[in-house]
Amino acid sequence: KVESIFSANGFDLAPEGPGQIGTKFEVGGREIEVQEVATRSSKVGDYEPSEDSQLITVQVKVTNLFGKPIGVSWNSFEPKLLSEDGEELDWRSDFISMGSGKTIGQEVAGGESVRGLLVFGGPKGITPNRLKLKETSTGRVVILPIASIVAK
């Protein structure tokens, strides 16, 4: 059973809640797990870093908790990746498949999962320290501190 980060003892607490990378949370009938944050030195989907920029990916697994199919795509989320200085990194408005490198836009059956990458761009050397992940069907926001970043 996944605990709600937005309520306690059956009472709704707030539209925002704290999360942790690697810890599952439920929002809008979806179990969401932010699995990893990584800097990328090579192409991700249709995106390539330039000489003075880097790509930063956030690996997300989404599991359908409903008994019927739900849609999962890039517009299921409104993520904000913020640096130590509060600067917002540029989200590419995409959710890339881990396998094909193509944009995810699909129905996910009840109990099934899909895993993909949210892609951000920023200047080389910028260090993200928190992710605000808004689930668009409910408007709920999870704030996740970023303790470590993997280089790929």
Percent of the chain's residues with pLDDT above 70: 91
Q: Which of 14-28, 48-62, 136-150 has the highest mean pLDDT?
A: 48-62
pLDDT tens digits, 105-117:
999 999 999 999 9
Check whether 46 has a pLDDT greater than 90. yes
- Whether residue 99 is predicted with pLDDT greater than 90 in this model: the reply is no
User: Mean pLDDT over residues 88-94, rounded?
Assistant: 95
Angle among Cα 19, 25, 27 to the nearest 5 degrees reads 110
Q: What is the dihedral of CA 26, 138, 127, 85, to 10 degrees?
A: -130
**What does the alpha-carbon distance between residue 122 and residue 119 come to, in Å, rounded to a whole number?**
10
Q: How confident is the model at residue 65 (pLDDT cuts 50, 70, 90)?
A: very high
pTM: 0.88
52 alpha-carbon distance from chain centroid: 24
